[in-house]
Amino acid sequence: MSVATGTESERPRARDSRAALTPYPDDVDARAIAEFHARYDRPRLSELVVVIAAYNEQDGLGAVLAEMPKRCHGMAVDVLVVVDGATDETAEVARQQGAHTCVADTNRGQGAALRLGYHLAAECGARYVVTTDADGQYDNTEMDALVRPLVDDEADFVTGSRRLGHEESDSRMRWVGVRVFAWLASLLTLRKITDTSFGFRAMRAELACSVTLTEPQYQASELLLGVLARGARLRELPLSMRLRTSGASKKGRSLRYGANYARVMLGTWLREYLLRDHRK
């Protein structure tokens, strides 16, 4: 079953990337979930599901999926690609590589797509959720190291760190931003954090679904601070960050992205630490 896209005027428009998401599932989530179940019925996925948010990534996604490990710590690796209102053949490329797809009819942002993916993966049986990007920036062959602390019950949330590992960077401003936001997150949470926006992560599925996630785009720090506020055990690992293999970044200009990232980090800290303690 395919999703009818209609004419450009009929297709749902992209939302304002600063507008907060309503609680899960919103109308876009509900339509995407209905499309998923119409296509696959009620699939039982592996204990380990890799969730990839993808918007117009037809050129790079195939190579990412081709290098994806088939097994990790004795578990089969299933891949769920959440197609975020794409206008190209991203979904078809994913299916050709054997991935499950969930197609949202509106481009909302990476945070919205990942939130949808967390819940759908858990619904279909996932115990652990891994996230990676569709643009080839992460070395998915490092998944064994990423998942090991979860399997060994040494952590609940594991994230790579380009500062502890290897980083290829073509932006001086982004290089500085990674370090500034790591310092800010460390200050706010009173624990050492070296990288708040590394997209190659592994977490317990129930933890991912328990965090309040309202950011459609600038979501990495919201997730990180949210799990820490719930007492999750965090582990950072030295992993690799490469340049994109295709396409262009969807993050916009560095100064604007940095300002919005700071807004989300401070807002999440206020909500999850100060106001949560006040409500208690």
Characterise 182 by phi-psi region: left (phi > 0), alpha (psi -120 to 50), beta (else).
Answer: alpha
Question: What is the predicted pLDDT for the residue at 16?
Answer: 55
CA distances from 168 to 8, 133, 189, 240 (A): 38, 15, 28, 8
The chain-wide mean pLDDT, for the chain, equals 91
Domain coordinates of the chain in residue numbers? 27-279
Q: Which residue has the tokens 């996230």?
A: 131
For 250-275, write each residue's pLDDT tens digit.
Answer: 555 578 889 999 999 999 999 999 88
What residues have CB less than 8 Å from 190, skipping those under 6 apart? none
pLDDT per residue over 172-211, tens digit each? 888 899 999 999 999 999 999 999 999 999 999 999 999 9
Residues 227 and 203 sit within 8 Å (Cβ to Cβ): yes
Residue scoring higher pLDDT (6 or 108): 108
More confident residue, 245 or 205: 205
**Chain centroid, CA 278 distance in Å:** 29
208 Cβ contact list (under 8 Å, min separation 6): 118, 122, 129, 223
pLDDT tens across 35-76, in order? 999 999 999 999 999 999 999 999 999 999 999 999 999 999
CATH topology of domain 27-279: Spore Coat Polysaccharide Biosynthesis Protein SpsA; Chain A (3.90.550)
More confident residue, 248 or 52: 52
Mean pLDDT, to the nearest integer, of 97-111?
97
Q: What is the pLDDT of residue 104?
A: 98
86-106 average pLDDT score: 98
The pLDDT score that the predictor gives to residue 247 is: 55
∠ CA 98-114-145, rounded to 5° = 70
